[in-house]
A and B are shown apart, each in its own frame.
Chain A
């Protein structure tokens, strides 16, 4: 080690990023800008508009006939070319890149088109005819566990596909002896950090070697590499993955590129050309991945002095429609830390994995931590409230004591180092908690809704690759024990003695190249500018392992160590070469300012580049048994990452940082908006390798946490329709919405790595939602609140019974307000200037009915009371072509008919039913109707705001035309029909 590192060290300094120049000038090549081979084809995907539907047939002939289209593949085609993906649990749940047999969520790829460009490929999607048989849907995770719920996998027979129970210490005794038991239900929503750059895959099949060459902004972990190779049926060495140096954000989501990698490989094989696919935003939001929503029932056993003696968890984690590897990671990655930052020795856990008709879940920043800490920290707040204690005093009372590190938590996490009490104390003083309390008191005295919240988090980093094996019982685990996590980095010195580095961390903006250049520069006595870092990864050329990738705050305690090891090897080798020339023992040489010199005589020196270059130029003069050239790879797996033991204890991660947050919020009583008045976040992340980048990670995690707490959720209708398909509906916070937190640090280095750094990029995603929710509950004096705390939701909590409408008003309160439910209901009435018989005949005559149905191109009677039609439907500029089916039932001529059916087209699908009643009145027929429709697919995903109004307009048009068909064109003074006038009076439009 360099003794002079303290004075010459770049590690620990806020070094500006080496990545920034090329990013700021726009010359960095992201995946979509990577060069492609001439003749590369482009793919687009047809996606299911239904949340759960049997695929009866797919007719791709019209699409294949379109000029420019090379291939169309369906799920059935895939089963003949590839194997289903391996999954983590032993259940018969087949998953291919395209839906096979049935579609299980809105947005699931059903077919893929390969064409000369993306525009033509999308044109062809509109020409694929899919017949679906719509199935019952289950969206809510708790509803999915109930017997009789629609089942996603008939082969499994149950939506709960894994249940595991764990017990540590003696939780039953602790609960029996508790003075008080405090419990809480903590639901956590479905969300994602949605990187600005979507997935990109460019795949090229070589028939000569039966191998695939893939360029993609994949982020690892490379545990998925064998999954992909096995699906393709090739040895892993024949699936070359190349990842560019620049990726437009990942946040965990880009793990889930792997099914598309396999799909593009197969497309290339069929089409005989490289095939490129660029995910668009609607595809990303509807089908990339979401953090699993989780329902946690949590209980604490508490002594009357506030000591918490046990936790009991019941975690129901919702993985959506498919369990893609490495799912159900979020349920197990935090397992060792289930007691949070607290000294709690008794713990009972039930984990259940449930499948629902939603987008499959994935790794998303925080990776199970946000869900877990939302439950723990909300519960601790409740404990304080119920015991009448100050929440911070309760936290302090239960923290793991200083001086007890390394500390083995109940479920097995080995907390490496820390001093939680000092961190809290410092944050209280430097963040100004007393002043914040004064602000709260003053605000409350003014009648304002003001609250303070706290949260503490132990932030794990670098996952143990064995954490998921805890999903198996101990006896099964023993057959194949898994633990560890390998990292790799290589330092190369070329013939002119200049240094370059490659590594396995696949950064997406975190500045890994900068940090690696700092580490290697320090070791070799150079400056970061002297070290070229290339963060591309090529599985056929670079060192990699299954842990390779960028996830779970892996970098700062893994790849950095590998790079450090590689640099030490280079240094040792160069020192040995220099030793002979300088005539100084290698261990008494120092490296600084580009020179190698004797510690006790700095004048006795050599230039680093000369010595290093000599390993290439004059290998014959190298010391005995030394290999020529200098290229050293550091490989590392920390010994603390052991497989789970027989007591189900698992050290899920290598390092454990500490986060303590507190905040003050004020709530606008009129709008329900939550304003963050002040936010303090204290981090102990061990040694900060680059404090500027560390703060950048905190700001970024905090910003997304603001989104999770206040804005973001993937919303689904009860029918499984996806309702958040645009960035106008999925609400990523922008600059005015994100407050500036005050960041504080202490540094307690980890003792498990030579560099002392822990993770820092995920802490606030775990701490901040809970902290803000605690503050809101404090402000409103309420027990629970669910995320996101939207103004509408908060307003409903604040406001008393709604002021009723004035007597005699046309509109009365809804019987059951249906926030979030997407069944659109409506009704209307009109007088048609023709007798009921004639109206009835119009409804039953296909030709006349065709004239009545808005935008009807053709109508065929396919059964006694069944019709199929081609219609164009729309509102304003929005318009699309659909296939419609209508069935008539419960007919009571000429008084009553029930219409039911649906429409389906590129814009989406709808099903519904309506009742039409005819009654003879003077001058014609009095028609009343009511309807219920559900709308799914693209139009629901991107036009949710408009659906209800648009449905009314379309249905209104039907009756408008019915009137005109039976001869009711009563002219009105303004030139509009009487019918239009009536509709307008009802606010229905024309």
Chain B
């Protein structure tokens, strides 16, 4: 049992994108705010803070989850991955990122990190989705710029590429 009182900061540490990080947070601090303001991460974006838009989606112990519906203290001792985990430090994009660029799957790019994190988890479980299944999964994200066309094209392209490699 762990009891943490309000109005006090509590130490938390966890694995973020493969590296151990720590800091302190009040119980009520949202994980999104912790990543942004305490750790200075730039990849996790907040779009609605009520779990609908999906911009803040990240992986906790490998599961795609809403950062805005998670308290920072909840990830103590766990594994968190954000979009920064996908590409190497040098900026070498992975196949999904390259396909997003090739198919113009992003415009303002604000919703994109959350979508990439969803897709990272989804394509592991569902390596060969139909377009309808893919669109169903994407319904957990709102993109206002693209109409989703480039995004769907990019993912179907990656699916084919990965099938060809396998």
Contacts and interface: CB of A to CB of B under 8 A. Distances in A.
Interface of A: 16-17, 19-30, 32-33, 118-119, 193-197, 246-249, 251, 280-281, 508-511, 692-693, 695-696, 699-700, 702-704, 726-728, 732, 734-736, 738, 740, 942
A700 B146 contact: yes
B93 A26 contact: no
A25 B144 contact: no
B107 interface: yes
B104 A196 contact: no
Given A24-B106, A25-B91, A508-B108, A703 B146 contact: yes
Interface in B72-105: 82-84, 86-87, 91, 93, 97, 100-102, 104
Interface string B107-121: 111111100100000
A26 B135 CA distance: 23
A21 B147 contact: no
Contact of A20 (B47, B101, B148, B151): B101
Nearest to B138: A735
9 contacts: A26-B44, A33-B42, A196-B143, A509-B106, A511-B107, A700-B107, A702-B147, A734-B141, A734-B148
A942 B52 CA distance: 13
Nearest to A20: B101
A702 B116 CA distance: 23
Nearest to A690: B104
Nearest to A699: B147
B59 interface: no
Given A21-B93, A196-B111, A699 B146 contact: yes
A16 B101 CA distance: 7
Nearest to B26: A119
Contacts of B113: 26
Contacts of B104: 17, 692-693, 695-696
Contact of A700 (B26, B140, B147): B147
A20 B109 contact: yes
Contacts of A728: 50, 52
A23 B149 contact: no
B48 interface: yes
A8 to B, nearest CB: 22
A699 B150 contact: yes
Contacts of B145: 249, 509, 696, 700
B142 interface: yes
B71 to A, nearest CB: 12
B130 interface: no
B84 A27 contact: yes
A816 B116 CA distance: 49
A26 B91 CA distance: 10
Contacts of B144: 193-196, 249, 251, 700, 703-704, 732
Give 6 closest A-B pairs by Cβ, nearest first: A26-B43, A509-B108, A248-B110, A703-B147, A23-B109, A509-B107
Nearest to B30: A119
Interface residues of B, number: 58
A656 to B, nearest CB: 24
A427 B104 CA distance: 24
B16 to A, nearest CB: 12
A24 B116 contact: yes
B110 A26 contact: no
Contacts of B82: 26
Contacts of A738: 147-149
Contact of A24 (B26, B33, B93, B150): B93
A703 B148 contact: yes
Nearest to A365: B144
A699 B50 CA distance: 27
B136 interface: yes
Contacts of B138: 734-736
B60 interface: no
Given A508-B108, A509-B145, A21 B52 contact: no
Nearest to A705: B147
B43 A196 contact: no
Given A17-B104, A27-B84, A249 B110 contact: yes
A728 B51 CA distance: 9
B64 to A, nearest CB: 15
Contacts of B41: 26
Interface in B123-163: 132, 134-136, 138-152
Contacts of A281: 47-50, 53
Contacts of A942: 50
B31 interface: no
B102 to A, nearest CB: 6
Given A25-B43, A26-B43, A696-B146, A727 B52 contact: yes
Contacts of B111: 196, 248
A27 B43 CA distance: 6
A403 B153 CA distance: 39
Given A16-B102, A21-B91, A248 B147 contact: no
